[in-house]
């Protein structure tokens, strides 16, 4: 029987993506599945701290193996902004259009448009915490392209491609994304346990 592993999220798409990668060694459960309905405040100033806050909150309360992640966009010419504030860069949490507008406005007149997406996963297994990181390098386009994906996908063009994340199929994006890379490291680690 597979071991249970809680993913500190209620995002059904994320759960499905992780379950497909992990296979049948673990049964991936959402916060809903364990009866956690509260909000976990991300008060950290780094991706590592925010990912850890998520997993530690659930582990302390339920004593179950779990993992949480934190992701964001770092733009080199903006000194790494929006970084951990990616989801609320323009003020309101999750206002993707306003966030994109702010990045594009802040990049006006700048020639360096290098950026990267980063995901950090905090896994707590039998009380011990492990971290896994994934990144994808790219550049910020001058305007939006594509209608797929979410967040900054319409302006992020990964290195080696001439299209943005928002122009890719879900399969294409998931094969090279920062989250996929961090997950692959975690899955490799879990398979050795």
Task: Report the C-alpha gap between 122 and 5 in whole angstroms.
Answer: 12
| Whole-Å CA distances, 49 to 30, 40, 115 | 21, 13, 21
Task: Report the C-alpha gap between 60 and 185 in whole angstroms.
Answer: 24
Strands in 26-29's sheet, in edge-to-edge order, are 26-29, 3-7, 66-75, 114-125, 128-140, 156-158
Task: Report the C-alpha gap between 42 and 70 in whole angstroms.
Answer: 9
Phi, psi torsion values for 133, nearest 5 degrees? -125, 140
Q: Which of the residues are catalytic?
A: 70
**Sole residue written with tokens 């733009």:** 75
């Amino acid at each position: 029987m597979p071991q249970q592993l809680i993913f500190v999220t209620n995002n059904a798409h994320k759960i499905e993506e992780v379950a497909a990668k992990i296979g049948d060694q673990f049964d991936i459960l959402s916060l809903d599945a364990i009866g956690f309905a509260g909000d976990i405040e991300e008060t950290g100033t780094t991706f590592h701290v925010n990912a850890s806050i998520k997993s530690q909150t659930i582990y302390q309360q339920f004593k179950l193996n779990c993992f949480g992640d934190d992701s964001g966009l770092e733009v080199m010419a903006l000194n790494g902004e929006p970084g951990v504030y990616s989801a609320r860069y323009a003020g309101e949490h999750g206002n993707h259009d306003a966030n994109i507008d702010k990045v594009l406005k802040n990049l006006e007149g700048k020639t360096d448009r290098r950026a990267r997406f980063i995901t950090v996963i905090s896994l707590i297994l039998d009380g011990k915490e492990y971290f896994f990181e994934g990144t994808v390098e790219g550049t910020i386009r001058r305007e939006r392209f594509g209608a797929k994906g979410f967040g900054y996908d319409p302006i992020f063009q990964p290195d080696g491609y001439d299209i943005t994340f928002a122009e890719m199929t879900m399969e294409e994006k998931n094969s090279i994304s920062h989250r996929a890379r961090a997950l692959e490291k975690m899955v490799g680690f879990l398979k050795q346990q």
